[in-house]
Amino acid sequence: MSGFEPGDFKRRDFLRAVGVTGGAGAMFATMGALGLAPTAEAAAAEPAFTAPRASDFTLTGKAAAKIVIVGGGIAGLAAAYELGKAGYDCTVLEAQDRTGGRNLTVRGGDAVVDTYGTQQTARFSDGHYMNTGPARIPQWMITLDYCRELGVPLEVFTNVNASAYIHTSRTSGTASGGGPVRFRTAKADMYGYVSELLAKATDKGALDKELTADDRERLLEFLRDFGDIGGRVTGDPAKSWRYTGSTRRGYRVDPGAAGTPGTVLGPVPSVSDVLASGVGRAFSFEFGYEQAMLMYQPVGGMDRIPRALTRAVGERKIHTGAVVTRITEKTDGVTVTYTHQGRTRTLDADYCIAAMPPHLLARVPHNLGGAVQSALEACKPESAAKLGLEYRSRWWEDDHRIYGGITNTDLDVGVIWYPSYAFHAERGVVIGYYNFGRDADAYGKLSPKERERRAVAQGVKIHGPKYRTELLSSFSQHWRLMPHVEAAWHSLEGGPDAARYAALNKPAGRVYFAGDHLSHTVAWQHGAFASARKVVGEVHGRVLRG
């Protein structure tokens, strides 16, 4: 995706790349946040979701209908699960041999054949795994409500760690010559210098138009604490408010018992070196609504969620290996044609929920009209990839004292994730790359072994030789190359409410559309759940009204 800094996962960039920034929506959201547009807030709120109940049919003379759901990812499973609560007769057709869609946890023995026909079999040890798709859940997302309801146990996912690194390859203009810096150190320096500069400007009177005398004193008090800087030296503006380093940078020798106060990490780089290093690029990531700590993951793997949904829906209602080849909407129902184990079959239902990747649905013959077809074609598939590296030791914990979290790089690997589970175990799986766009595509063109080699060469720059010598095996997942998925997520220009997607946000006769692409949280399970709920409400309302 152009517009992305390599390895950068900021919401702003992400939204720009998937085309949902700007416009009235964003403006109203901002105004709403400022308390300027109370009516916009009401308009933007999703109606509260009430799951359909069997008792909703009492005295209506209506009955639950038959529904065919195309796609057994989170949206399709959630739709079947919610409709099932009211007794709807749902059948899920899933092209892959398992449910979950992009929610795929890979463990030892799991095999994936990509669209090139290349097979990889994971060799991870027992108890170790990689979440190749979704891997982190913020507290506000309804994904957690489903975990509660389905009894999926959670643990903290460490998205931000002061001990993890920010790696810069930039060498020009910096005394340090680039390389890895701990988040804590980079922040101490950047916050320190920004505080110093702002304090100096404030004290010089540069902000007298903006601030009252009281404001100025309060701001200075804040900056002193925020940047850990010195105070005013009367009569000496140059010596005032200076950042000269801080214990917040960390220690070269950690403090211990009496007599061993430790040695603070030094020397402190100049403001110019800190700016030139570019470390500041990695800070705003954790400010985002989606990425802020604390975050969560299901204990044992993200696929605990689709597994629990599959169990709740009932395995016999789900046909895996069922590839849909035609959708025909008729005045009184829908016929879905699919192939299963070499045979062509058809399924008739009252309604259909199409919850498969939109750019793949666009290749399925249907009679849903030109507006639907052009809207489907306008959903652009995007690339993202992850590489899991299993190590025979947890050197990142033992040697680097990093327990979970993410190292940010400006290399083509994007970010490197340390596992948030199995601390102090013998082995562990590190995510050696999580990249997207061009970087993901570049790795995707390589063989699995070459991907490993290239990514390991990058990781060695940050972590040293153990990144290579302790490696046991790897598994790489490229979502553009995953059969029946062929995308990490989709970008919808202008967002899901833009006019060109209108045909997907209402039924085409008896066919409804669902998926995270039809939500304001593209690339999150929350979006898939929210979209499924919206469609479930619409179908149920229609059936009740008869």
Point out which residues bind ligand PHE (CB under 6 A): 9, 11, 14, 136, 290, 523-524
Hey, how many other C-beta atoms are within 10 angstroms of the C-beta on 2? 7
Question: Amino acid letter at 505?
Answer: N
Q: Please, what is the minimum distance in Å from the beta carbon of residue 519 to ligand PHE?
A: 12
Residue 415 C-beta: closest distance to ligand PHE, Å: 9
Angle at 382 between CA 379 and CA 388, to 5 degrees: 145
Q: Nearest distance from residue 10's CB to ligand PHE, in Å? A: 7
Q: How many CA atoms lie within 13 A of 3 on its CB side?
A: 14
Shortest separation between residue 528's beta carbon and ligand PHE, angstroms: 11
- Whether the bond between 38 and the residue before it is cis, its omega within 30 degrees of 0, is no
The runs of H, that is alpha helices, within 85-212 are 143-150, 183-204
For residues 136 and 520, which CB has a smaller minimum distance to ligand PHE in the complex?
A: 136
CA distances from 48 to 422, 530, 533 (A): 38, 11, 10
* Cβ proximity to ligand PHE, 136 vs 400, nearer residue: 136
As a whole number of angstroms, the distance between CA 380 and CA 358 comes to: 9
CB nearer to ligand PHE: pick between 462 and 523: 523
Q: Please list, in sequence order, all residues whose beta carbon lies within 8 angstroms of the beta carbon of residue 412, skipping any fewer than 6 positions away.
A: 6, 433, 435, 439, 442, 443, 454, 458
Q: Which is nearer to ligand PHE, 124 or 524 (CB)?
A: 524
3-state helix, strand, coil in the chain (%, to 5): 35, 25, 40
> CB under 8 Å to 315, separation ≥6 — which residues?
none
| Element holding 418 (H helix, E strand) | strand 415-418
Q: Which residue, 107 or 136, has its beta carbon nearer to ligand PHE?
A: 136
Cβ 464 to ligand PHE shortest distance, Å:
27
Residue closer to ligand PHE (CB basis): 398 or 493: 493
Beta strand ranges found along 8-82 (DSSP E): 66-70
Q: Minimal distance in Å, beta carbon 178 to ligand PHE?
A: 25
Question: Between residues 15 and 327, which has the closer beta carbon with respect to ligand PHE?
Answer: 15
Q: Which C-beta is closer to ligand PHE: that of 338 or that of 524?
A: 524
Q: Select 15 or 349, whichever has its Cβ closest to ligand PHE.
A: 15
Q: Tell me, what amino acid is at 225? A: D
Residue 125 Cβ vs ligand PHE, minimum distance, rounded to whole Å? 25
Cα–Cα–Cα angle for 213, 217, 220, rounded to 5 degrees: 135
Rg (alpha carbons) of the chain, rounded to whole number:
26
Please state, in angstroms and rounded to a whole number, the distance separating the CA atoms of residues 14 and 1.
9
Based on CB atoms, which residue is closest to ligand PHE, 12 or 53? 12
Task: Select 137 or 279, whichever has its Cβ closest to ligand PHE.
Answer: 137
Angle at 393 between CA 392 and CA 397, to 5 degrees: 150
Q: Which amino acid is residue 50, in one-letter code?
A: T
Dist CA 453 CA 313 (whole Å): 42
3-class SS string, 167-178: EECCCCCCCCCC
Shortest spacing between CB 138 and ligand PHE, in angstroms: 9
CB of residue 469 to ligand PHE, shortest distance in Å = 29
Distances (CA, A) of 84 to 145, 497, 544: 18, 28, 15
Residues 206, 448: contact at Cβ < 8 Å?
no
Q: Which is nearer to ligand PHE, 276 or 431 (CB)?
A: 431
- Least distance (Å) from ligand PHE to the CB of residue 71? 19
Instruction: Give the nearest distance from C-beta 169 to ligand PHE in angstroms.
Output: 22
For residues 431 and 387, is the Cβ–Cβ distance under 8 A? yes
User: Minimal distance in Å, beta carbon 143 to ligand PHE?
Assistant: 11
CA nearest to 76, candidates 383, 313, 304: 313
Token pair in block for residue 156: 């903290």
Least distance (Å) between residue 401 CB and ligand PHE: 25
**Closest CB to ligand PHE among 8 and 94?**
8
- For the beta sheet containing 66-70, the strands, ordered from the edge strand earlier in sequence to the opposite edge, are 318-320, 89-94, 66-70, 351-354, 511-513
